[in-house]
Structures are given as C-alpha cells and as structure tokens.
Amino acid sequence: MTVPTSHCQSWGIDAPNPDLFWHEPSLPGRISYVLQYAIRAPSTHNVQPWLFQVDDKSCTVFLDTSKTLPHGDPTGRDAYMSVGCCIENLVVAARYFGIYEGEDFLPAEQGQSGRVGIVRIRFKESAGPDATWQALTEAIFCR
C-alpha cells in the first residue's frame, strides 16, 4: 500500500525525492537526506528543540535547551517528547532506506552550548529499501 503523497506537504514543502537518496554516494550525505524526515516531527509549542551532529556512520541527536520554554514547559517534558518524535521519524526513514543499524542512548547530561545528548543513531550502507517501512515513511509528510 502506498500513501498518496500528491496532497501531502509539511509547511508547503514537498516530500523529498527518493532518487536523490539513491544517487547520494556518501553515507553522511544519505544521513543528511533522512534528516529531512526527522525535522518534520511534531513539536510542542513548535519550538523544534533538536540539533544534529552527523559523523561518518552516525548521527547524534541533542535537545537544544536554548529552545525550551521555562514557563510553558517548566519540567522540559514537552521538549523531550518533541525530540522523541524527531528521533522516531529519523529511525522510520532510515529503516525504509535500509541504512538503520542501531542506537545508543546517551546519559542525560547537559553538554557544551546548552545541548543535552539524547541518542546516537548508527547507520550502515544500504542494501536497498525495506518496503515494510514505506507507508510510515511516506506518511511523515501527510500529518
């Protein structure tokens, strides 16, 4: 089953062209491509409190504490849920494109520049798409 994407847009932006993924020769480039899906995650208060650090075979996802709302979200619960949605979108898209390898959760310690490391997603070279994740991946742009 394929989700009809002709009417599905987030913020007036069309879904990425999958051909661009398959023509990208480097794994860091492919990781950057699937981040287009991650950033379409719902975000409480629309603050989008995530940051990414892409390396050769991984991407670390951080909570950007400069984007938290001390009065609207005093415990940070909403910010962490937003980052969790972002991570889920990243994992779903990476599984579909066949580059997901695993994740390592990081200790919740605030690092430099107000960033809290949440998870490091590990990636591998793709052997091809995994059709079991296609509908979920396409649905990311239909929310």
pTM for the full model? Answer: 0.89
Specify the DSSP element, H or E, that contains 28: helix 27-38
> Taking Cα atoms as reference points, which of 81, 92, 94, 86 lies closest to residue 30?
94
Quote the strand ranges of 5-114, DSSP E. 50-54, 58-64, 100-105
Question: Of the ranges 1-5, 76-80, 87-91, which one carries the lowest mean pLDDT score?
Answer: 1-5
- Specify the pLDDT at position 1: 40
Task: For 24, list phi and psi in degrees, rounded to 5.
Answer: -80, 120
Q: Which amino acid is at 115?
A: R
> Tokens representing 134?
């296609």
Exposure on the CB side of residue 82, measured as CA atoms within 13 A: 24
Alpha-carbon gap, residue 98 to 117, rounded angstroms: 24
Alpha-carbon gap, residue 69 to 44, rounded angstroms: 10
pLDDT tens column, 34-69: 999 999 999 999 999 999 999 999 999 999 999 999
Q: Assign residue 111 a region: left if phi > 0, alpha if psi is -120 to 50, beta otherwise?
A: beta
